[in-house]
Structure formats: C-alpha cells, structure tokens
C-alpha cells in the first residue's frame, strides 16, 4: 500500500507568514504517520511548508499513491482544493483515493465531497485513517459503512456520514509523532534566522473543556484528555537525544487546566533532569502564584494568557467565563516572577463599541504584557459565533475560492474601522512601552503618538460615514 500524507501549506506563497516566520511542524499528520507505521503501513510525509505546489505535484506523479491523506484547515483549504483538482485531472492518479481530515472538513462535508474528496475524516484521525487504509487494501472492514468517523459519497451519489468515532481515551497508547519524516532543521533554521532561537512543537492534551463562542471544536470536541506527565517527559527526553533545539512550544489550548497534572509534570522533569525551556497557552482562571512557580520550575519562560478583550462586557458576550481583572493580575504576577507574558486580543466582536475598544487599550497598558497579538473577529462555521451572525453576512462569497476568514458581517462599525482600531492599539502600546526608556526613544515617542492620533481620527471618520449611510438608507 502506497500512502502519502501532506498538508498543503506553502510558506513561499504567503508574504504575511514569511514576515512572521513562525512555521510549525504538522503534528497531526506526523501522529497519523506513526500510527500507520505501528500497524505495518509504511507511508511518506510530504511536508509542503518549505516546498512548493509544483514539487508536491511532482511527488504525487512519482509516487502514484493509492491513498493521499491531506490535513485541512482554514489556512490550507484553498491549496487543498488545488491539490484535489490536480489529482482528479491527472490520469496517472486516477486510482488515488483522497482522504481529508482536520478542523475544516466537518462543517463543509458536501462541498469537499463535491470537489472530489473520497473520504472525510470527522474527529481524531489515527484509527479512522488506519481503517480506511485497511479497507482500501482489502484487509479491513467489509464495507465503508462500518468505519466510524467518516463521510463519503455512496455508489448512487448520496452523501453518507457514519456514526461518530469514540474519542481516544488513553492518549499514552498513541505513538510519538513521526518527526523523522520531516526535515526539522528547516524549521529550526527559519526560527533561528528570524527570532534568534528555535522551537519544536509538542502536544500533551486533546480537546478543551471551555465554551468560547468563536472557537472551533470540530476535531476534538468539548473534551479534556491528557497524556501522562511520564509520557510527555519521555518525549522531551527523546527530543533532547535526537535534536539540538532551544525550546518547546506546547500546542495545548489550556496548559494549566489541571493543577495536579502540572505538579506531577514539574516533579517528573526536574527529577529526571530534563527541564527544557518552553512556552504555553492558558487561562487566567487556571493560574495562581503556585501555578506560576511550577511553570517556572518546569522550564516555562513565556506564558500566553488569553483575554481577547479588555472589556468585561465583550468577554461575557464571548462566553469566555473569566474576569478581566484576573487576567490583568495574572499577567502582572507572571512577569513579577520572571516569566514573559503574552496575550491575545480581538476587535470587532458583535456588540463591541468604541468604549470597549478603548477599555482594551486601558487593559493592555494596565497589565503590560511583553507580547500581544490582535485580530479582527471572523466567524468559523460550526461555532456559536457563526450561527449568531450568519444572517448578518455582508457578502455571499463562492465557497471554493474563499475561506471563513473572508467573511464579514454587519458590526457596530465598518471593517475598515477595525483596521484603524488595530493601528491605534498597536501605536498606543508602542508609545506606552517607549515611555519606559524616554531618552532612548526620544524620536519614536512623538511618531507613535501621532500615528495613534491619526488612527483615532480615521476611526471617527469611518464612524461618521457609517452613520451617514444609515441615515440615507432610512
């Protein structure tokens, strides 16, 4: 059985990602690769990150795989459709079965099947992919209807969706991701060249028990399952033995969700002498001083604490279930104990006003994180936010040439208003940071303040235009 796994992300085609240069190895397909190998199915991972669409096409024609598995998310969707079209238009690949998995497929089943996919994997992919391969090899289930967790088109053209696959209960039973299938040095060099240090991704958990309205739970559901601290420590030891890398990026949604797990993990890595620098994401309500000290003792040097807004009203609209003051306190406390603190901000959430945006500025200045990121809210299909704003979409975009990131909806202000708001927030924070060293930033200070003032002026003009257009329509 000839199997090729890929993900369709080409950094050379994305100028923004090149500027950021924080590429992460595709852990999902590396887990599937390792799982297939565990059951005797050799496979090839074509890591497209530092390659190109043309080289991927050449690899497909060279290998002529019986099964192609493609990880699909918002960022890769359009390239995945390009790959499907290439396979379907290539006579040499007429026998190739296309399997799509990842967070994008569950809520677009009909669309992906109509575009030419043979199977969609809904949920976790290891066992499902194995059973698809076994079925196609003639050694597994007698028919596709017996494979849990898939959607496909039957012989009569009907769309079939089998029952959900039970979630993997014991994550320790999964093999470590098959990192030998990719050239990690390319990632290390890219990070080192841009940021001075490099990193390697590790997953310790699946799912998230929280209910934020904008967050997709299409793969793991609203669950919480965790690898044992011993298993994670084993992986860290393996990484240290095989690679020269500066730090770990834990990809988990809420790293400190279990204080007992964190305590056991801290004990394990310190006892074994394998403490390694890492950064992680968490929530303020799952932090306290003891947690911060354990993070530091176990190697954490940077913790990302989700906020999304500095307005409690907006946080409540998101169903974040966290107090903004607690977020501020935990950012400051983490920094007090020598950790770097980062946070995430959204603007343009339904119901957000100008006052809420300026409350976010106050929040950032008060908490003073080392790093923060800002995005304009967009609705992902399948989330409560999407359902909430679907009737207020501004445009109807062709599915095959757009993604959910392109969706705009009727908000408090225009889309351009939020671009100016981001410019204002960034420059207010640049000014705030520069004030700590006024002499060193003597010329930058007035520039930052002027840019903020201009952005605020443009926000006001956009607000006036919107009110004027609404008055005309009435």
Stretch 192-198: mean pLDDT, rounded?
A: 95
pLDDT at 416 over 80: yes
Mean pLDDT score of the chain, rounded to an integer? 95
| Bridge partners, residue 71, by sequence | 101
pLDDT given for residue 240 in this prediction: 98
CA 121 vs. chain centroid, Å, equals 18
pLDDT of amino acid 468: 80
What is the pLDDT, as a whole number, of residue 140? 86
Using 50, 70 and 90 to split pLDDT, how confident is the model at 474? low
**The tokens 């499907």 sit on which residue?**
84
3-state secondary structure of 135: helix
DSSP helix/strand/coil, 303: strand
Please write the tens of the pLDDT for every residue from 140-167. 888 999 999 999 999 999 999 999 999 9
| pLDDT tens track for 47-94 | 999 999 999 999 999 999 999 999 999 999 999 999 999 999 999 999
Tell me the pLDDT band of 104, cut-offs 50, 70 and 90: very high
pLDDT on residue 395:
81
Distance CA 311, CA 216 (A): 22
Opening angle at CA 185, ends 193 and 282, nearest 5: 75
184 near 348, Cβ under 8 Å? no
246-272 pLDDT tens trace: 999 999 999 999 999 999 999 999 999
pTM, two decimals, is: 0.94
Say if residue 44's pLDDT is above 90.
yes
Q: Give the closest residue to 48 by CA, choosing from 39, 40, 57.
A: 57
* 260-306 per-position pLDDT tens digit: 999 999 999 999 999 999 999 999 999 999 999 999 999 999 999 98
381-397, pLDDT tens digit by residue?
A: 999 999 999 999 998 89
Q: What is the pLDDT of residue 147?
A: 97
Per-residue pLDDT, 42? 97
What tens digit of pLDDT does each residue of 326-348 get? 999 999 999 999 999 999 999 99
What does residue 201 show for φ and ψ, rounded to 5 degrees? -85, 140
Report the pLDDT value the prediction gives residue 222, as an integer from 0 to 100: 85
- What is the C-alpha to C-alpha distance for residues 362 and 342, in angstroms, rounded to an integer? 16
pLDDT digits (tens, 9 = 90+) for 344-370: 999 999 999 999 999 999 999 999 999
pLDDT for 187 equals 96
- pLDDT of 470: 76
pLDDT of 434 higher than 80: yes
User: Mean pLDDT across the stretch 398-425?
Assistant: 95
């Amino acid at each position: 059985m000839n199997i090729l796994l890929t993900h369709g992300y080409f950094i050379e085609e994305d100028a923004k990602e090149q500027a950021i240069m924080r590429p992460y190895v595709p852990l999902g397909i590396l887990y599937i690769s390792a799982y297939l190998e565990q059951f005797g199915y050799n496979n090839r991972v074509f890591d497209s990150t530092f390659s190109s669409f043309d080289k991927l096409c050449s690899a497909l024609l060279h290998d002529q795989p019986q099964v192609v598995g493609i990880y699909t998310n918002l960022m890769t969707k359009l390239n995945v459709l390009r790959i499907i079209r290439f396979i379907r238009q290539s006579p040499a690949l007429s026998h190739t079965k296309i399997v799509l998995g990842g967070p994008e497929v569950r809520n677009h089943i009909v669309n992906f099947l109509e575009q030419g996919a043979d199977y969609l994997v809904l949920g976790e992919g290891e066992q499902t992919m194995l059973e698809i391969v076994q079925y196609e090899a003639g050694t597994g289930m007698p028919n596709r209807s017996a494979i849990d967790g898939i959607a496909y088109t039957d012989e009569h053209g009907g769309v079939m969706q089998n029952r959900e696959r039970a979630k993997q209960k014991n994550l320790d039973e999964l093999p470590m991701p098959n990192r030998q299938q990719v050239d990690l040095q390319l990632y290390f060099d890219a990070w080192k060249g841009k940021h001075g240090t490099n990193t390697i991704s590790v997953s310790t958990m699946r799912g998230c028990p929280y209910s934020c309205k904008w967050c997709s739970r299409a793969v793991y559901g609203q669950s919480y399952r965790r690898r044992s601290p011993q298993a994670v420590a084993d992986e860290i030891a393996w990484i240290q033995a095989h690679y020269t890398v500066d730090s770990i990026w834990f990809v988990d949604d809420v790293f400190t969700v279990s204080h007992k797990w964190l305590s056991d993990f801290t004990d394990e890595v310190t006892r074994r002498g394998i403490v390694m620098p890492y950064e992680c994401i968490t929530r303020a309500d799952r932090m306290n001083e003891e947690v911060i000290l354990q993070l530091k003792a176990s190697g954490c040097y940077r913790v990302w604490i989700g906020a999304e807004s500095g307005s409690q009203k907006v946080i409540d609209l998101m169903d974040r279930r966290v107090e903004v003051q607690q977020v501020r306190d935990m950012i400051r406390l983490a920094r007090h104990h020598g950790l770097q603190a980062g946070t995430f901000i959204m603007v343009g959430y339904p119901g957000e006003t100008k006052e809420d945006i300026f409350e976010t500025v106050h929040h950032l200045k008060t908490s003073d994180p080392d790093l923060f990121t800002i995005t304009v809210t967009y609705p992902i299909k399948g989330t409560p936010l999407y359902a909430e704003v679907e009737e207020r979409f501004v445009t109807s975009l062709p599915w095959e040439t757009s993604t959910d990131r392109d969706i705009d909806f009727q908000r408090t202000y225009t889309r351009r208003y939020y671009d100016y708001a981001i410019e204002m927030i960034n420059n207010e924070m640049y000014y705030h940071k520069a004030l700590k060293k006024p002499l060193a930033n003597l010329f930058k200070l007035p520039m930052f303040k002027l840019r903020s003032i201009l952005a605020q002026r443009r926000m006001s003009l956009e607000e006036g235009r919107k009110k004027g257009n609404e008055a005309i329509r009435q």
